Amino acid sequence: MVGMSLLRSVAAIAARLTPVKSGNAATNLLVRTIPRTEKVAVRWGHGKKMFVIKPTEFYDKRFLRLLQFYILLTGIPVAIIVTSVNLFIGEAELVETPEGYEPEHWEYYKHPITRWITRNVFDSPVKDYEKMMAAIQIEKEKADMRLAQLEVRRHMRRRGDGPWFQIETLDKNLIDSSPKATPDN
Binding site for other proteins (CB under 8 A): 87-97, 103, 107-110, 112, 115, 129, 132-133, 136-137, 139-140
Q: Identify whether the C-beta of residue 167 lies closer than 8 Å to the C-beta of residue 160.
A: yes
Q: Least distance (Å) from other proteins to the CB of residue 113?
A: 12
Q: Least distance (Å) from other proteins to the CB of residue 166?
A: 33
Please identify, using beta-carbon distances, which residue of 76 and 133 lies nearer to other proteins. 133
Please identify, using beta-carbon distances, which residue of 75 and 90 lies nearer to other proteins. 90
Residue 182: alpha-carbon gap to chain centroid = 93
Q: Identify whether the C-beta of residue 152 lies closer than 8 Å to the C-beta of residue 164.
A: yes
Please identify, using beta-carbon distances, which residue of 29 and 136 lies nearer to other proteins. 136
Please identify, using beta-carbon distances, which residue of 74 and 120 lies nearer to other proteins. 120
The one-letter amino acid at 143: A
CA–CA separation, 130 and 107 (whole Å):
20
Q: Least distance (Å) from other proteins to the CB of residue 99?
A: 12
CA–CA separation, 139 and 74 (whole Å):
43
Q: Which positions ≥6 away from 124 have C-beta within 8 Å? A: 105, 118
CA–CA separation, 141 and 139 (whole Å):
5
CA–CA separation, 40 and 29 (whole Å):
11
Please identify, using beta-carbon distances, which residue of 18 and 84 lies nearer to other proteins. 84
Q: Least distance (Å) from other proteins to the CB of residue 152?
A: 19
Q: Least distance (Å) from other proteins to the CB of residue 135?
A: 10
